[in-house]
Amino acid sequence: RRIGLDNAVDFYELMTAPIAKIMNKWFESDVLKATLGTDGVIGFAASPYDIGTGSLKRFTIYVLLHHVLGGLDNRSSTWGYVMGGMGAVSEAIAKAARSHGAELFTDQ
């Protein structure tokens, strides 16, 4: 099926533009733009102003949908953060292992 010129321009922009530009084009609320933009770039070492962060090529839309459609404790569109950061996960694992007699060795 063919797409018109207007749709082709929108599609090209989606594939190449920074996600911040896409959010600014389609939404007025700064809170909504920040929420959707963050969900779109989280996990990437990129700014929402970087070229291509709105792109399907970089899986930004996949990441956004993954976070919006996911769930936690039977509640859709929710997900959690680790209190204390990701280092708290490894610390909790180490603490549990030590409580069972494990000895851990690191380069520190």
**50 and 89 assigned to the same domain:** no
65 and 97 part of one domain: no
Buried b (16+ CB within 10 A) or exposed e, 8-17: eeeeeebeeb
Q: Do 57 and 9 have their domain in common?
A: yes
pTM: 0.47
Q: Is residue 76 part of a domain?
A: no
Q: Which strand (E) or helix (H) includes residue 72?
A: strand 71-72
Pick the more confident residue, 9 or 51: 9
Which pLDDT score is estimated for 93?
96
Residues 106 and 54 both lie in one domain:
no
Number of domains in the chain: 2
**Is 74 among the domain residues?**
no
List the domain range (segments joined by +) for residue 34: 5-69
* Whether 45 and 13 share a structural domain: yes
Cα angle, residue 81 at apex, residues 64 and 50 outer, rounded to 5°? 40
Q: What is the pLDDT of residues 38-84, one digit of tens each?
A: 766 776 777 888 876 766 555 556 666 666 677 778 777 677 778 88
